[in-house]
Amino acid sequence: MLIDLDNLADNKPPKKYDVCVCGTGPAGITVARLLAAQGKSVLLCEGGALEYTEESQKLYDGKSIGINDWDAVKNCRLRYLGGTSNHWSGLCSYFDEIDFEMHPNGMSGWQVQRTDILKYFDVAKEILDLPKDAFHIANPWRGYNFKNFAHAMSPPTRFNSKYLEELKKSEKIDLFIHANLTKIQLNPNSPNVQYLQFTNNKKQHFTFSANQYVLALGALENARMLLANNTQLKEGIGNRGDMVGRCFMEHINIRYGRFVSENPSYWKNGKLHLNPSANLIKKYQIGNGVISFDPEFNAVSYGRAQALKQAIRDLICKSESATDLSRKLMDFDCPGDGVITSLIEQSPNLDSRVTLSANERDIFGIPKIVLDWRMNRYDERTVRTIGIEAAKEVAKLGIARVKLEDYILDSTKPFIDIGHHCHQMGTTRMSHSDKDGVVDVNLKVHGLNNLYIAGSSVFPTGGGCNPTFTVVMLSARLADHLASLKQRLI
């Protein structure tokens, strides 16, 4: 059933639910659907509408004091039904075995076994519309220090258009839109959430209760809501160990340089993506990542002066010095050039974090986010080692020769144009205790009996892979866990 909270007449929720899920991205919708399939009644709340609106998106306003500007952060997220799946590229991959080991900087790793997550591999494939032969590697890499990046492409699945009708028709799920989460009320006598307060666009408040609660609002908003609810616990909810908002991670997108190839057969299917091997990661004590060799297509000139333009380009490209000069003046690629890009894992870093603004609030009175995204020396070592070792590997195999950027070769030079992939992770990380994280192995907030977190904010490390496939697998696992719990009176 679909209900618009803006049109709800009074504060009388129709019933008490088994589970209340906040957020309708891939994590929230997956948890809700799979719980409903097991007979559980679910309240599914979306703060935005069915489609994009500026008013809703504006509630994501905040400030960045770290590497990236806030617009880049804000534009990574979409505040309406389906969440970030509405602009997802569709690239699916999953964590390596080595990603589950403790990080070399001493921060704890995953509490759950990789095999426990991969039990939901086929479920996630179906949810994300992947083909049966997804992740199949046709030509295994024959190198030494790298391996193929196992990945597959979803169409991509838009959780808005794919699941809206199912949610509307569901007898088990009540989907509320314009339901802005504004308060998490704890029971004063027991470590439980008592109810959630939602506020509609008319500033009317509604309270809803359930046996279990799931926050699936994204890595920034999950941390924001836990920190902002600080009237009963001054440090916020689940923040006894001062870990909420910490260890914010992205995948670093940095340009490594260019390459020339003697052997274009390696690029006949497009980009060549490689992960470092476990041996390389251990040898240099670095993080994981993906380095991508992307062949440029032949530049084509258009217009009346087409022939002249093409001749000038060819002339410039024949001369190394003229090409270098042109590249200094503009983004100038020669036919046959290849560029090297990346998706590099960040180490969990306590100083890379989300906090709340001291003086800026949104229209519902919730403090705005301040994001301090940082890199550290582990990350720099990971970036440089992967680039240099990959350049050596492709040379050794006779596949290509690589010209690395100065800042890759010289560790005294700062990186230029550090980019990201809109993979926001790690602000409510999974851990053994509240000393180094926020949720336990079952994604339950430490110290509370009935509050859970879904999404990439629970990742203790980011791995060398795109996060959505793992988010869906973890969400399916969470749904199974919640469905297995006996109902508890609160």
Partner 1 sequence: MVNLSKRRFAQLLMLQPFILLAAKFSPEVTNIELEDDFILVNGWVLLKSDLF
Q: Which residues bind partner 1 (CB under 8 A)?
A: 257, 260-262, 264, 267, 295, 297-298, 317-318, 320, 334-337, 384, 388, 391-392, 395-396, 401-406, 409-412
Main-chain dihedrals φ then ψ at residue 288, nearest 5 degrees: -90, 180
Q: Which of 168/318 has CB closer to partner 1?
A: 318
CB of 291 vs partner 1, minimal distance in Å: 13
**CB of 282 or CB of 413, closer to partner 1:** 413
Pairing assessment for the beta strands 152-153 and 173-177 based on DSSP bridges: unpaired
Beta carbons within 8 Å of 60's beta carbon, 6+ residues apart:
74, 77, 79, 220, 221
Q: Are 423 and 462 in contact (CB under 8 A)?
A: yes
Cβ neighbours of 379 (radius 10 Å) = 25
CB nearer to partner 1: pick between 198 and 407: 407
Least gap, CB of 430 to partner 1 (angstroms): 36
| Residue 171 or 262 with smaller CB distance to partner 1 | 262
Smallest separation (angstroms) from partner 1 to the CB of 109: 29
Q: How many helices (H) and strands (E) does the chain have?
A: 13, 21
- Give residues with Cβ within 8 angstroms of 219, minimum separation 6: 248, 354, 424, 425, 426, 427, 428, 455, 456, 457
Nearest-approach distance from CB 275 to partner 1, in angstroms: 19
Minimum distance, C-beta of residue 328 to partner 1, in the bound complex (Å): 14
CB of 139 to partner 1, least distance (A): 18
Over the range 171-203, which residues count as b (16 or more CB within 10 Å of their CB) and which as e? ebbbbbbbbbbbbbbbeeeeebbbbbbbbbbee
Measured CA to CA in angstroms, residue 112 lies from 385, 453, 474 at distances of: 29, 15, 10
Q: Which is nearer to partner 1, 25 or 295 (CB)?
A: 295
Q: 244 vs 391, which CB is nearer to partner 1?
A: 391
| Closest distance to partner 1 from the beta carbon of 267 (Å) | 8
Closest CB to partner 1 among 67 and 391?
A: 391
CA distance linking residue 129 with residue 132, whole number of Å: 9
Distance CA 200, CA 176 (A): 10
CB of residue 379 to partner 1, shortest distance in Å: 17
Least distance between partner 1 and beta carbon 141 (Å): 18
In the complex, least distance from residue 394 CB atom to partner 1, rounded to whole angstroms: 9
Which one, 221 or 333, has the nearer CB to partner 1? 333
In angstroms, the CA 352 to CA 245 distance is 8
Q: Which is nearer to partner 1, 336 or 447 (CB)?
A: 336
Q: Cis link prior to 460 (omega < 30° from 0)?
A: no
If DSSP codes are grouped into helix, strand and coil, which group holds residue 456?
helix
- 408-436 in b/e form (b: 16+ CB < 10 A) is beeeeeebeebbbbbbbbbbbbbbeebeb
Round to whole Å and give the CA distance between 359 and 466: 35
C-beta closer to partner 1: residue 161 or 411: 411
Which tokens go with 419? 């980019």
Buried-exposed string 34-50: b where 16+ CB fall within 10 A, e elsewhere:
bbbeeebbbbbbbbbbb
